[in-house]
Amino acid sequence: MEKAKQVVCQTQDLIPNSGVCALVNGKQVALFYFPEDDQPVRAVSNWDPIGQANVLSRGIVGDLKGRLVVASPLYKQHFDLKTGECLEDDQAKLEVFPVSIEENLVLWG
Amino acid sequence: MKKLRMVVAGNGMVGHHFVDQILALSTDIELTVLGAETRPAYDRVHLSEVFAGKDPKDLSLTSREYYKEHNVDAHFGDAVVAIDRDNKSVKTESGRTFSYDKLILATGSYPFVPPIKGSECKECLTYRTIDDLGEIKANAKDAKIGVVVGGGLLGLECANALKNLGLETHVVEFAPGLMGVQLDQGGSKMLRRKIEALGVTVHTSKATTLISEGDDTKLRMSFADETHLDTDMIVFSAGIRPYDQLARKSGLEVGERGGIVIDYHCRTSDSDIFAIGECALFGKMIYGLVAPGYRMAEIAAQQFVDADEKPSFTGADMSTKLKLLGVDVGSIGDAHGKTADSICYVFSDEKAETYKRIVVSADGKRLLGAVLVGDCSDYDTLLQYYLNEIDLPGSPESMILPATDGSAAPALGPAALPATATICSCHNVSKGDIVNAMDAGCCGLPDVKSSTKASTGCGGCAALLKNIVDHEMEARGLEVNKSICEHFQFTRQELFHLIKVEEIKSFQEMLDKHGSGRGCDICKPAIGSILASLWNDYVLQENHVQLQDTNDTFLANMQKNGTYSVVPRVPGGEITPDQLIAIGEVGKKYNLYTKITGGQRIDLFGATLNQLPDIWRELIDAGLETGHAYGKAVRTVKSCVGSTWCRYGVNDSVGMAIHIENRYKGLRAPHKLKFAVSGCTRECAEAQSKDVGVIATENGWNLYVCGNGGMKPRHADLFATDLDDQTLIKYIDRFLMFYIRTADRLQRTSVWMENLEGGLDYLRQVVIEDSLGIGEELEAQMHHVVGTYQCEWKTTIENPEKVKRFRQFVNSNASDDNVVFVEERGQMRPANEVERQKLIAKSA
C-alpha cells in the first residue's frame, strides 16, 4: 500500500505568484504558488547559496526566456524553479523538491 | 627572416598604448617591455578617485597575464638605466641587458620639486604614482593640515585627494592665478572663488623659501613675502619634468629645458630610437596630457607598417574638460586670446558662479578658443566648432549667453558634424569612424564602444557619442532598444504614460494589455512603483504583493543574514525624549543593534521576520510611524537647528523640514529621494548634496535640485531663489512629479538631470514657466498622493491576515536557526561565517 503523503500546509497559506517558507523535516523549503499553472506549487531549498542566508522564499518570481525563476532578494541572481539551476552562476544550484496539491492541502513527495 | 626586436622602456599609459598598437598591427615583432614601477600600466588620470573610494586595481589598464598571452616579454620594477647605442642594447637597474633593433622611450615624466631648503623631509611628498598615493595616505593619518604646492591641473586634483582624506587643505601657487596655462584671469578668479567656497584655501603669488619645523604643526612654510603657513604635510605638484636622463646620458638630442627631441615620426636623433609621451619634446613643446601621448604612440607604431606614406605627428589639441574638486572646468584652444586681432566675448554670472569666455577670429567666423568655469555644458559644442572650423552663428555671443525668452543656445546636433569631427580625443575616434563601425555591423552603444574604443578613455565624450549612435541608429531605421525588460517593450516613461492614460490599476491588467510572459524582478517592482506613484494604494494590497521587492513586501530592509532593519520616521530629525525612550525600549526588548543614520534618524537592526509586527505595534503605540526606509520613496528631510536656536539662522529650517517631510512622506518614485533644509548659507544640513535642497535666505528660500552623495556625488543645481513658502512647495510638487513621470527605472534625480535634454534651463521652463502646460496636473497628482497617505505599518498590524505574512514558517513557530549573533562593543551583530558554524554546531 502506498504510504500516505506528508501534509506541509494548506493552500490558503500560500500566496499567489509569490513565495512562503515551510519547515519540512527540519529543512527550510521555499514554496511558490502559481494558481493558473498545471503544476501550481514549486518547492526549492530556502537557502541562498550565494547570499548565504535563508531568504529565497522572499524573492520575486517571474520568467526569463521562458524559464520559471525566483530572483534572490539579496543579490538578485535568478534560480530556475524547475531545475534549481542558477542562471548567472553554474556553480550554484538549489535542491528541488516534489510537492503537489490535493484538495486544499499541499503535500510533500 | 629574423624577427624585429623591439624594446619599450616605460609602461605608463602611453607606453602601454604603444604596445597595444603594435599588437594590433599583428606584424612579426618581438616585444620586450621594461617598466620602472612594480605594476603594469594603470590609469593615472583618475588617480585621485582612489581617495574617493575607488580600488587601485580598478585603475589598471592591463595585466601581466595579458602581456603573457600576447607573447610580450614584460618586466616590472626594473627600470632601464643605460642605453648602449653602439651595441644596440639597454641595461636595467638589476643589471640585465636587452638588445634591440628598435627602442621606444616612453619613460614619462617626474614631478618637479622646486629647490627649496627643507623640501627633502619625509612629510614632503609628490603625487604621480599609486605608490605616491600610499605615502600620502600614510602621512595623512596623523596630519590635520595638508598643503599642495602648485595650483595647476594636477595640483588641484591632488588638493581634492587631500580634502577627501579629511585634511584642512591649502593650495599654494607661485603664479598670480590658478591653472594659468588653461584659464584666463577671469576664469581663474571664478575657479578660485568656487574652490574656496568648498573649503580649500588658496594662496597665490607665493614663493616658498624655506620649509622648517612648525610650532604646533609638523612643518612651517615660509614665503618670500615674509608670511608663513603651518602644515603637517606638503605635496608637490608644481608641474612635471620629462624623464630624459637616459637620452641625455647616451648622447641623444634633448631640449634646452629638457625633453627628448623628436621629429614628425616620433623619431629621436638616433633613427633606431623613438620617444613618445611626456618624455618627448616636439616643436619645443612637452605634451602633458594623455590624448597627445596616445597620438604619438599611434604615429610611432605606424612607422613599422609597410606603407608608402607614413602618418605624422603634427602637434595635438590641448583642449581639456575636467572636474576639479567638483567644479567643471573647460579650456579650448587659444584660451588667453593671444591670436592677433581676435575678439573675445565674456559672460560671468557671480550668482550662479559660472564664467564663460570665447575667443573668436577677427571676421567673427571661427572659434579660436574658450574658457568655461562652473558650467561645461557648452564644451562639446564649442570644441566641435573649434576643431572642425565650423562657421559660427551670426552672433557668436549666443553660444555662451544664458537662454532668455526660451531660446536655447544653438545646439550642434550630431547631423551637423562633419565626418572628420573628432569625437573621442583619447582614442582619436572621428564621427566617420563611428559611422563606419556601424556600417560594418555595430549595433548600439556597447558595440560601438568596444569596436572603436571611443569613450573608453576619460569618458568625457560619452554623451556626445551616445547622441551620435542614437542618431545613426534612427537614420538607419533601427530601433534603439530602450525596453525595460523582455516582458514589456516600453521605457519606464512609456509605461507610466500607459498606466496613467488607461487608468490601469494592477500589474496583471498591465501585463494582459501591454506585456507578455509572467513578468520578472525588473518590471514587477518598476510597475509596482508607478502604480504607487499614481494611485497610492496600500502596497500590500492583494494584487500588489507579488510586485514588491522583499524590502517593500515586509516593510523593512533586508540585511545580509536575512534579518531586517527597522527605521521609524523622525521628521526633520526632530525627536522628543519620550520617543527616544520608546525606540530605546524597543531596541532593548528585542535585542536590536542600534545606529544613528546619515538622515538623522535611528536604525534598529537584526529583527527577524516574525518580530517585525510586534516591534511596529510598540513603535506605533509610542506615536511613531514608518520611515519608508525600505522603499524607493521619500526617505528623510535632514535639517539644521535653524533660526529657533542658532545664532546665524535666518529662517526656521526645522519647521520647514518637518512640513516638507510630512507632505511627501511615502511618495513612491523611480529611486529613493533625500531632502534637506538649511537655516542659512552656512549649509549645515548639506542640502546641496540632496535630491531636493532648501536653504534659507534673508528673503525666503533658495531651492536646489538633483544633488547626490553616494557613489557618484553631484552638487545640486540652484533652481530658484528667494521663494516664499507657498511657491517653494509648488515648485517641489511639480519637480518631483515631473521626475517621477519621466525618469528611468532606478534613475536618481542627478542622473536624470544629466540626461535631461535641455538640462536645468528646460526643467526651469517646465516647472516655473509651465512651458508644457502640465503644472496644475502635476500639482493635482501630488495632491492626490498627499491626501491618500497612510502609515503602511499601521494598516498592516491592524489586519491579522497581513500579519500572517510575517511568519518565518507557514507550518511552524520555529525561528531560522541560521540567524545567530555575537556581541561586539556592547551590542549584537550577525555572526561571521566561522562564528556561525561554531555557534550552530554548539546548539546542535
What is the enclosing helix (H) or strand (E) of A90?
A: none
Neighbours of B479 (CB within 10 A): 10
- Under the banding of pLDDT at 50, 70 and 90, the label for residue B406 is very low
End-to-end CA separation in angstroms for chain A: 16
- Where a domain ends, among B790, B812, B838? B790
- Where a domain ends, among B533, B548, B563? B548
**Residues of chain B contacting residue A66, judged by C-beta atoms under 8 Å apart:** 517
**B76 domain-assigned:** yes
Yes or no, beta carbons of A62 and B558 under 8 Å apart: no
Residues B639 and B775 in one domain: yes
Residue B407's pLDDT is: 46
Nearest CA in chain B to A68: B518
Give per-residue pLDDT as tens, B27-57.
Answer: 788 999 999 999 999 988 888 778 777 788 8
- Per the document, the length of chain B is 844
Residues B663 and B526 in one domain: no
End-to-end CA separation in angstroms for chain B: 74
Position B90 pLDDT exceeds 90: yes
Cβ within 8 Å of residue A43, ≥6 positions away: A29, A30, A31, A32, A96, A97, A98, A99
CATH number, position B439? 1.10.10.1100
A53 touches chain B (CB under 8 A): yes
CA distances from A43 to A15, A29, A60, A61 (A): 13, 6, 14, 13
Q: Which of B128, B109, B110, B96 is nearest to B32 (CA)?
A: B96
Position B754 pLDDT exceeds 80: yes
Give per-residue pLDDT as tens, B621-676.
Answer: 999 999 999 999 999 999 999 999 999 999 999 999 999 999 999 999 999 999 99
Distance of CA B100 to the CA centre of its chain: 43
| Max intra-chain CA distance, chain A | 46
**B296 domain-assigned:** yes
Cβ atoms of residues B592 and B603 within 8 Å: no
Beta strands at B354-360 and B80-84: parallel, antiparallel or unpaired: unpaired
Residue range A86-96: mean pLDDT, rounded = 91
- Neighbour-count burial for B92-102, b at 16+ CB within 10 Å, e otherwise: beeeeebebeb
Nearest CA in chain B to A65: B486
- Where a domain ends, among B451, B481, B511? B481
Residues B257 and B231 in one domain: no
Nearest to B558 among A16, A61, A73 (CB): A73
- Under the banding of pLDDT at 50, 70 and 90, the label for residue B149 is very high
Residue B475's pLDDT is: 77
**B362 domain-assigned:** no
Residues B733 and B650 in one domain: yes
**Residues of chain B contacting residue A74, judged by C-beta atoms under 8 Å apart:** 558, 560, 562
Residue range B96-106: mean pLDDT, rounded = 95
Report how many domains make up chain B.
5
Yes or no, beta carbons of B550 and A8 under 8 Å apart: no
Q: 3-class SS at A60?
A: strand
Order of strands, sheet of A6-10, starting from the edge strand that comes earlier in the sequence: A6-10, A105-108, A99-102
All domains in chain A, ordered by first residue: 9-99 (2.102.10.10)
Yes or no, beta carbons of B550 and A59 under 8 Å apart: yes
**B105 domain-assigned:** yes
Q: A8 to chain B, minimum CA–CA distance in Å?
A: 7
Q: Which domain holds residue B671?
A: 632-790
**Please, is B608 exposed, middle or buried when counting C-beta atoms within 10 Å of its C-beta (0-12, 13-18, 19+)?**
middle
Nearest CA in chain B to A36: B518
Q: Could you give the CA distance from residue A71 to residue A57 in angstroms, rounded to a whole number?
A: 10
- Under the banding of pLDDT at 50, 70 and 90, the label for residue B479 is low
Position B711 pLDDT exceeds 80: no
**B185 domain-assigned:** yes
Residue B120's pLDDT is: 87
Yes or no, beta carbons of A60 and B546 under 8 Å apart: yes
Residues B261 and B162 in one domain: no
Residue B483's pLDDT is: 80
Q: B562 to chain A, minimum CA–CA distance in Å?
A: 6
Residue B403's pLDDT is: 63
Residues B189 and B131 in one domain: yes
- Under the banding of pLDDT at 50, 70 and 90, the label for residue B412 is low
Cβ atoms of residues B112 and B258 within 8 Å: no
Residue B187's pLDDT is: 92
Q: A58 to chain B, minimum CA–CA distance in Å?
A: 6
Neighbours of A13 (CB within 10 A): 18
Residue B621's pLDDT is: 94
Residues B281 and B162 in one domain: no
Residue range B427-432: mean pLDDT, rounded = 84
Residues B196 and B294 in one domain: no
C-alpha cell of residue B147: 598643503
Residues B15 and B158 in one domain: no
A87 touches chain B (CB under 8 A): no
Yes or no, beta carbons of B518 and A62 under 8 Å apart: yes
Residues B140 and B254 in one domain: no
Residues B654 and B743 in one domain: yes
Residue range B60-83: mean pLDDT, rounded = 92
C-alpha cell of residue A22: 515551510
Q: A60 to chain B, minimum CA–CA distance in Å?
A: 6
A105 touches chain B (CB under 8 A): no
Yes or no, beta carbons of A16 and B546 under 8 Å apart: yes
Q: A77 to chain B, minimum CA–CA distance in Å?
A: 10
Position B408 pLDDT exceeds 50: no
CATH number, position B262? 3.50.50.60
Of B83-87, B430-434, B793-797, the poorest mean pLDDT is in: B430-434
**B336 domain-assigned:** no
**B25 domain-assigned:** yes
Give per-residue pLDDT as tens, B225-265.
Answer: 999 999 999 999 988 899 999 999 999 999 988 999 999 99
Nearest CA in chain A to B508: A17
DSSP state of B120: T
Residues B666 and B783 in one domain: yes
Yes or no, beta carbons of A60 and B486 under 8 Å apart: no
Q: Could you give the CA distance from residue A70 to residue B550 in angstroms, rounded to a whole number?
A: 12
Q: B511 to chain A, minimum CA–CA distance in Å?
A: 12
**B715 domain-assigned:** yes
Position B459 pLDDT exceeds 70: no
Give per-residue pLDDT as tens, B334-384.
Answer: 988 888 888 888 888 888 889 999 999 988 889 999 999 998 888 888 888
